[in-house]
Amino acid sequence: MKRAYPAALIYVGFFLLGLQLILWGVLLPDIRADLNMSAATSGWFFLTMTLGTISGSFLGGKYVQKFEFLRLFAGLALCVASLLALISYSQDVWQLFVCAGLFGLFASVMFTIGHTLIARLFAEKRARMMGIMDFMFSLGTLAAPFFVIVLYWSPDLASWRVPVRLMAASVVLLAAWAYALSRHPLQLAVLASAPKTSLSYRDALVKPEFVALALAMFGYGAVEWGNGNWFVSYAVAAEQPLAAEQARLVFAFFTGGMVISRLGFSFLIPVFGVRLLLRVLGSCMLLGAIGVRAFESAEALSLANLLLGLGLGGLYPLLLATAMDISPEQGPVLSGLSNIAGSLGSQLAGLGIGLWAQAQGLTTAFYFIPLLAVWLQGAVWGFSRRV
């Protein structure tokens, strides 16, 4: 089977995963109103999903290489579709929480499969192909606010449950595609170690460069999902509040910046080199994070979100691809480690902002974003010194 076929599947899958994951933040004001959720309860919702993501990342990093990648991907996609359908019919918070935790678990294993499969299909151009994969994820996050806005133009579709149900149907089609491809053999790069053995996180974490990778991914997850899950709610509740639709459009500059960054960062590697490019992206991210909280007008917030997305978008694939170049045989563990660290960061941001907002209001709690960006910038500089 040609490499392009499974690559196309993974790229489409990452687009849908990006759309699904950012959809929760875009729909959060409506979900809170429908289910009578407080800010703190919203934080616990994101925590529950993150705990599932951490569990899935750990299991995926250790065990996905024991299975046939595409068949496992198809089964997980069916599980995700079922959970999305259940979420769309949730009438109480506990049902939402249980489904969200399981959704995070299955989706994170799909992430690990995608990263591992692309890295082994295209070993000779790993950074560029993984960049395209994460570009598709960002394209999904960019599509999410417009997806909701267009659906809400129709009064009959103006419910948070409708986009979730449409996503469930899309993932069923993805599962069928994956199963059809799984009937044909894959041509993967041969690894030095046996592919059917369990890998160890301990072996990776004894290396300083991978510890630095984990610290950077922690900050990355905190900044990306802190802004992704809470910006629309923050903009609606700010001192100079925006309308919900306008807030979603402003947020689209963040996801758009991430799309541009993930599409273009690989072309800048020959110009800057990996070390300098990491630092440039980190600096751009930090400026944007400061502006997201400091600015008030829609125009200035759009610019700040764009800067934040431009800096943040290329960091994840560049960090992970660089780490995989150092130790290709540990690819699943490095992907799992990155997902776990990023999930812990998003857990801190999601719950931390929610609890802080419950105590002092969301406008004060949103200062957490620039504080987290300072951590990420420091961690990126630390990793760049190791490569």
Tokens of 303: 């610019």
pLDDT at 69 over 70: yes
Q: For 157-186, what is the mean pLDDT?
A: 92
Core vs surface per residue 195-204: b (16+ CB within 10 A) or e? eeeebebeeb
Whether 296 and 247 have beta carbons less than 8 Å apart is answered as no
Distance (Å) of CA 263 to CA 126, 133, 224: 14, 9, 17
Q: For 288-308, what is the mean pLDDT?
A: 93
Separation between Cα atoms, residue 285 and residue 79, nearest integer Å: 35
Domain ranges of the chain: 4-384
Whether 54 and 344 have beta carbons less than 8 Å apart is answered as yes
Asked whether the CA dihedral 366, 367, 368, 374 is positive or negative, the reply is: positive
pLDDT in tens, 204-255: 777 888 888 999 999 999 999 899 888 988 898 887 888 888 888 999 899 8
Query: CB 37: neighbour CB atoms within 10 A?
Result: 18
| 318: Cα separation from own chain's centroid | 14
Separation between Cα atoms, residue 146 and residue 240, nearest integer Å: 23
pLDDT at 188 over 90: no
Q: What are phi and psi of 296, to 5 degrees?
A: -125, -35
List the Cα angle 287/247/161 in 5-degree steps: 125
Instruction: Specify the pLDDT at position 360.
Output: 87
Q: For 291-302, what is the mean pLDDT?
A: 92
On average, the pLDDT of the chain sits at 86
Instruction: Specify the pLDDT at position 291.
Output: 94
Instruction: Specify the pLDDT at position 158.
Output: 84
pLDDT in tens, 125-170: 776 787 788 788 878 888 888 899 899 888 888 899 999 999 999 9
Q: For 318-323, what is the mean pLDDT?
A: 87
Instruction: Specify the pLDDT at position 99.
Output: 93
Q: For 335-347, what is the mean pLDDT?
A: 83
Separation between Cα atoms, residue 95 and residue 54, nearest integer Å: 20
Q: What is the DSSP letter of 327?
A: -
CATH architecture group of domain 4-384: Up-down Bundle (1.20)
Instruction: Specify the pLDDT at position 372.
Output: 94
Q: If pLDDT is split at 50, 70 and 90, which confidence band does 194 have?
A: very low
